[in-house]
Amino acid sequence: MKKKRMLFLRATALAALALVLALDALFLFTGARAFSPLENRNLQQRPALTLAGVTSGRYESRFDDYVSDQFPFRDAWVALKTAIDRLGGRTESNGVYLSGDGYLIQDFTMPSEADYQANLDALAGFLQRHGDLKQYVMIAPTAVTVERDRLPALAPAGDEGGYLDRLARDLSGAPARFIDLRAALAGARAQGQVYYRTDHHWTSDGAHAAYLALSAAAGLSGEAARLERRLLSGDFQGTLSASSGFLPGERDALWAYVPPEDEQFVVTYVGENRRSASLFAAAHLDTRDQYAVFLDGNHPEIRIETTAANGRALLVLKDSYANCLIPMLVGDYEKIIVVDPRYFTGRLEVLMEAEGVNEVLVLYNASTLAGDTALRGDLA
């Protein structure tokens, strides 16, 4: 009996070792995936090994993300883990809370002090260098702040509100107007849905509340009646459902605020040397990434030329939260230059001078801005 037990234990240990070695081999010899269709996001690639990255701890953090994102059969493991968690009554998966009224709410991760200071220095330095321009900073709170009452009881969600308060204080000396959107979004929430239930983005109604706040600060038209609220899809399933495994059967409605037909414009995707007469890419409505209908998703640089003829040229430094708001601006600016610093490799100073930029809008969501690679080195 003892001999059989020893044989069983040895066989189990050998099987476990073989599984670990097989997974390691797959990890080492299979190519890294660039994108996860299931989670609808870019995956972390192997970070460059540098002395600065090691000493700051950023290399270890990014390498951990790389291993997690590229682990063999990751999608199947995520699905299995979520199923087990649900059976155990858990309401959190992969940083996403299963919340009240059918909302999925992404947690906020407070940045390290080093990451916070690096991004603050990059942003404040850029604003100071262009103090002669009109500048507006809108850092959108995510659902974890505005929908906080829907979180599960005792959920240990990060203090995004405290982060926004500190950022506003630390930018108070910069020559820019910091527009706190929390009150505007809370007010809009009383009238409708300002965040998707299955996605991390705000809805177009949330973005429209931000547009009205910007209008008051920047002297824009702010005329709600000029924009048509149009349903684009009733079958939108966002990234939070995919990454958490929660609510796989739920769908959101995807709306847009569309400028009137007499507001003419040309949209140029600069890196691709491609032009369009539309702010919307309808082909994405037939894909999983329906949110990319706005401005065809994220691009390093987009130029929008309009018939406004008012001499106002706006530079928008942004993440994907801005994509559904920018179409609302075409009646207010003669030219809109849209730059996503995460992908832009040119020289901002040269671009701004060439395009005659005289106003700047910085529009990120708080979670993206808090990320360790959000701005560092990109605003030089």
CA distances from 115 to 132, 158, 378 (A): 28, 16, 14
Nearest to 138 by CA among 364, 375, 367, 336: 364
Q: Is the pLDDT of residue 24 over 70?
A: no
What pLDDT, on the 0 to 100 scale, is given for residue 90? 81
Burial of 244 (0-12, 13-18, 19+ CB in 10 A): buried
**Alpha carbon distance 27, 225 (integer Å):** 55
Band (pLDDT 50/70/90 cuts) for residue 156 is very high
Beta-sheet pairing, 35-36 with 265-269: unpaired
Tens of pLDDT, residue by residue over 68-79, are 666 666 666 666
CA 374 to chain centre: 10
Note the residue count of the chain: 380
Question: If you write DSSP's letter for every residue of 89-149 in order, what string do you get?
Answer: T--EETTEEE-GGG-EEE--PPPPHHHHHHHHHHHHHHHHHTTTSEEEEEEE--HHHHTGG
Tens of pLDDT, residue by residue over 174-194, are 999 999 999 999 999 999 999
Tens of pLDDT, residue by residue over 283-342, are 999 999 999 999 999 999 999 999 999 999 999 999 999 999 999 999 999 999 999 998
Contact yes or no for 116/256 (Cβ under 8 A): no
What pLDDT, on the 0 to 100 scale, is given for residue 57? 65
pLDDT higher at 184 or 51: 184
Contact yes or no for 252/239 (Cβ under 8 A): no
Contact yes or no for 151/200 (Cβ under 8 A): no
Q: What percentage of the chain carries pLDDT values higher than 70?
A: 77
Tens of pLDDT, residue by residue over 235-277, are 999 999 988 889 888 999 999 999 998 888 999 999 999 999 9
Q: What percentage of the chain carries pLDDT values higher than 90?
A: 66
Task: Give the N- to C-terminal CA distance of the chain in Å, as an integer.
Answer: 72
Band (pLDDT 50/70/90 cuts) for residue 5 is low
What pLDDT, on the 0 to 100 scale, is given for residue 248? 87
What pLDDT, on the 0 to 100 scale, is given for residue 50? 77
What pLDDT, on the 0 to 100 scale, is given for residue 49? 74
Q: Is the pLDDT of residue 80 over 70?
A: no
What pLDDT, on the 0 to 100 scale, is given for residue 153? 93
